[in-house]
Structure 1
Amino acid sequence: MKATLIRETYSKFQTRGKLTIVNDDGKTIFECDTLELPWKENRNRISCIPEGEYKAVFRNFGNYANRSFHIQTKDGKEVPGRSSILIHSGNFFTDTRGCILVGKSFADIALKTKKRIIEKDGILDILNSRKTVDELLKIGDSFFIDVKSANTKEPVPIIEEEDFEEIIKEIGPLKVGDTATVNVKSSLNLRDKPAKEGNVIDQLLNNQKVKILEDHDEWLKIIVEIDIEGWVSSDYVHEQDGKFFVKTKGSNLNIRKEPKVGDNKVVPNGVPNGTELLIKEQSEKWMKVSVVGKEGFVYQDYLKK
């Protein structure tokens, strides 16, 4: 069984092509469309992978487990200069993250769900992707794949638009160090590990700001950005392992603009028991503190730049 991915159309934001798989008798047993990033010198998450012969192996672990193929060199190593290149489902060029999306036909679509909103942008998107992945999974556990350009007499064009990387920064995948905004209609679960099985340690609200600490493919480790600073009574601050936490009997702790009781709350409802605090100043009965945001994992689709 052998597959061929022919890259047919190169544009500013994407590369569109056709994937065909034939059996040992040369009979076509599978066909679909493909969507990749443009060629940008094999740069991680900015470029499609180089042309060449690879092996696609069923992936039964990590992100997209049991719903993807891992692209490797013919001797089973990662694509040179890259890691975790997959064939998986998705609709938009920003979903590729350097991987290969499969589907049936293209159209400029809008997506509105409880968790994600994407408007039409004049750029073609790939359709029926999950169904196409399901069909591909029935073909077999592995196959060799030859990735090449439709015009073999000409080199693969390098898209030179200077603003491409700026566009990727604006609407492309989030990366470590970025500040992002929660993009949900209700709330977003913050978990203690990068998986749906992780325990929910908090719920984030729409438009809440977070900072990306680590990238775990579909999951991102974040810290919640909280701009709260003020004074609290030292009677309700507990030190543990060199860190300071709110310690009350269940009620919230008021943070005040000045070190005195009165109508001077920084936030109306205070902060809950167990909240981590950073001590900035200290007097006999009061501490000037800032609130330390919680760390945890969220699903990357529910954040936006």
Structure 2
Amino acid sequence: MKTPLIKLHRYSQDQNQSLSTTVILDDSNNPLYSSITLERGWRNNKQGESCIPAGVYDVVLEYSPKFKKDLWEIKNVPNRSECKFHSANYWHQLNGCIAPGRRPKYLNSDKYLDVTDSVNTLKDFHAALKGFTKAILIITTEPNIF
């Protein structure tokens, strides 16, 4: 297989959070993995407070000293660094990173959908990319959701 393709499509977003669907595709565009994903909302790409701008990015498997494990890091995000795929259940646990989850669910009382089983969903994400150290990420956004 060539470099894996990760497609993240945002379907719901405000200034606090973004919900997306994410798939990893093989060379024939067959899905190897799919999940929902959670990010911060759009805040003009402000570091630590905003989701990543829509676009195409290189993603590299690297050791994270903060998380003490290998994580997929999104590279070349304008004016940003250390944007990763990692586990989280709530938008406020993310500082510009992306968290996969099994399904949306209201887990607390903030009236925002959260994601369930993020730790195991992240394991599935890593399993789908096993044997690779690079991937391509394409982020798209529904029109008029800002």
| TM-score (norm. length: structure 2) | 0.88
For 2:70 and 2:87, locate their aligned partners in 1 and report how far apart those are by CA, in whole Å. 8
Q: Which of 89, 92, 98 in structure 2 is aligned with 1:91?
A: 89
Name 1:145's counterpart in structure 2: 137
Give the Å deviation of 1:122. 1.7
> Which of 47, 70, 74 matches 2:73?
70
The answer as to whether partners of 2:9 and 2:142 remain within 8 angstroms in 1 is: yes
> In the TM superposition, what is the alpha-carbon distance from 1:80 to its structure 2 partner?
1.5
Q: Look up the match of 1:21.
A: 24
Q: CA deviation at 1:56?
A: 1.6
Structure 1 residue 65 displacement after superposition: 3.5
Cα distance in 2 between the residues matched to 1:43 and 1:99: 12
The one-letter code of the counterpart of 2:27 is D
Contact conserved, 2:61 with 2:134, CA < 8 A, in 1? Answer: yes
Contact 1:37 1:98 in 2 (8 A): yes
Task: Determine the C-alpha separation between the residues in 1 that align with 2:71 and 2:50.
Answer: 20
**Paired residues of 1:51 and 1:149 also in contact (CA < 8 A):** yes
Which of residues 117, 121, 132 is equivalent to 2:110?
121
Paired letter, 2:124: E
Aligned residue pair count = 140
* Distance in 1 separating the partners of 2:61 and 2:128: 11
8 Å contact 2:106–2:114 — kept in the other structure?
yes
Output aligned runs, 1:237-248, within 5 Å.
none
Give the whole-Å Cα distance in 2 for the aligned partners of 1:12 and 1:39: 5
In structure 2, what is the Cα distance between the partners aligned to 1:67 and 1:123?
29
> Which letter maps to 2:7?
T
1:130 paired residue number: 119
> Higher relative contact order by CA 8 Å / sep ≥ 6: 1 or 2?
2
Give the secondary structure class of the aligned counterpart of 1:59: strand
Shift of 1:68: 2.1
Q: Give SS of 1:68's match.
A: strand
Contact 2:75-2:81 at 8 Å conserved across structures:
no
Q: Considering only CA atoms, is the larger Rg found in Structure 1 or Structure 2?
A: 1
Are 1:41 and 2:30 matched, yes or no? no
Secondary structure at the residue paired with 2:125?
Answer: helix
Following TM superposition, by how much is the alpha carbon of 1:11 offset from its aligned partner in structure 2, in angstroms?
A: 2.7
Q: Indicate yes or no: 2:107 matched with 1:109.
A: yes
Unaligned runs of 5+ in 2: none
2:35 maps to 32
Shift of 1:58: 1.3
**Given residue 78 of structure 2, which amino acid in structure 1 is its aligned partner?**
P
Aligned counterparts of 1:41 and 1:8: Cα–Cα separation in 2: 18
Task: Give the conservation status (yes or no) of the 8 Å contact 2:64–2:70.
Answer: no
Letter of the structure 1 residue corresponding to residue 13 of structure 2 = Y
